[in-house]
Amino acid sequence: MGAKTGATMGARGHVFLGDGMGDTRIGALLVRLRTTRGWSQQRVADEYNALEGRSAKTGKEIGRYEREARVPVPYARKYLAQVFGVDVAVLDQAVAISKGQRDGAEAEIVPPALLPEDTHVRGDPLSEDAVRSADFARFIAQRNADEFVVEQLEADVGRLARTYVSHPLMEQYVEIRRLRDGVFELLRGRQHPRQTTDLYLSAARLCGLSAHVCLDLGAYDSAATHARTARACAEAAGHEGMLAWVRAVESLIAYWTGRYEQAARLAQAGRRHRASGSIGARLASLEARALAIVGDTAGALAALSDAERSREAVSGGDEGAGVFDFPAAKQFAYAGTTLLAAGGQERVHRAIVSAETAIRLYRSADGDDQSVGDLFAAHLDLARGHMLLGDLDGTEEMLGFVLQSPPERMSASIVRRLTVLGRELEGPQYGGAAQAVHLRERLQHTAVRASLPAAHPPELPT
């Protein structure tokens, strides 16, 4: 490595800058350190996350450091230094060089004191005009968010997005609301335009999380309000991926309020955004499920095929994890629900396979990625599949996971599924069989318990 970079090894194995390094700004240095090892940006992020003990850093963020769209703060530089085996002073020096080149002219124009009151001749129009210009420079310099604040905020949002799918809902909501309100206050102040864009994106994600909280609690009007604000913030940030994700949330809201055709249209609108990652598969899956409910079987199956093609075309990971991601397990769960709605014995068998695959994938995932709600939904689809095939023993077995779970972990959509399944067991094809009556009573009892105010703390989203 020394021959390529002009670096030398220190006493503790750290690499120090040497002569002949060429561009010594932080972006160029990070590129050099990474490419010397033959690593991808995602590999650097993975090494960083392993050292930090979290999963917040992404390859795209490493790319932003390399392009100097963002300068790594001291906290991040500490771990980057460990990743590359260099002394942190090397990165500190490179950051100083970058900031000096970027901000040097501005620092000369806008010193801390700006222009003293007595430096111009009173009554001189040109001098007074220059003072007004200096006053505006002072206004620009007053910022309430620096790079560290923005980066820490993004890390917090990433953590909440990942733990959202596996942790108790109201535990998440308190911090989501606190962070969201804090970002709103920061945006009412002043910061660098790049940081303003980042803050708008964080605000969009936090409003999106707030919408999800309301959606899971059945507060659909509040969910729609948060979703609209999330869309406004995503538009202010100019982030196509987030705009597409918000459309997915709006499609969910329409679906769970019985507006299935609108749910399909919103998913289609989201697919028109040029977004990378798994969002295309998510939107196509939402469209398929909604179309199946309204009886458009051909459209639903076509959308399922689109979802599969979108999944195959995904390269790299999503910008966000958890609720912002659309894992293959969730796609199988949605496919199962769609096939059940489409009907027909062959599709019911396929739905059972899809639901079983979703459960297997979720159970093999890391703890934070094991979505409790999706596990409930997949088990209920399995139960319904066996019920449609006349297998009440299989139905009872699949319901066990849900009926034995704490009711406070059940979202409004799961309660809706329990209620619908209970009503289906009243059908004449079951002839009032004792097993069907027993299952129906258990389903109704669980749905009532999950709907009681005690199942969720009284402090609901607004």
Secondary structure (DSSP) of 44-111 = HHHHHHHHHTSS---HHHHHHHHHTSSPPPHHHHHHHHHHHTB-HHHHHHHHHHHHHHHHHHHHHHS-
End-to-end CA distance of the chain: 56
Mean pLDDT of the chain: 82
Span of 116-120, 351-355, 360-364, 372-376 with lowest mean pLDDT: 116-120
Query: Span 322-336, mean pLDDT?
Result: 91
Tokens of 336: 């199962």
If one compares 155 and 336, the residue with the highest pLDDT of the two is 336
Give the pLDDT score at 190. Answer: 74
What 399-403 contacts at long range (C-beta under 8 Å, 24+ apart), as own/partner pairs, is: 399/439, 399/442, 399/443, 401/375, 401/376, 402/376, 402/446, 403/442, 403/443, 403/446
Residue with tokens 């679906």: 255
Nearest in space to 249 (alpha carbons), one of 304, 307, 320, 323? 323
Inform me whether the pLDDT recorded for 84 exceeds 50: yes
Span of 59-63, 138-142, 225-229, 305-309 with lowest mean pLDDT: 138-142
CATH superfamily of 2-112: lambda repressor-like DNA-binding domains (1.10.260.40)
C-beta separation of 126 from 328 below 8 A? no
Query: Span 353-380, mean pLDDT?
Result: 87
Q: Could you tell me where the DSSP H helices lie in 218-344? A: 220-237, 240-256, 260-271, 279-293, 297-313, 328-342
Give the pLDDT score at 114. Answer: 36
Count the Cβ atoms, other than its own, within 10 Å of residue 384: 26
Q: How far apart are the C-alpha atoms of 110 and 456, rounded to whole Å?
A: 53
Give the pLDDT score at 135. Answer: 62
Inform me whether the pLDDT recorded for 254 exceeds 80: yes
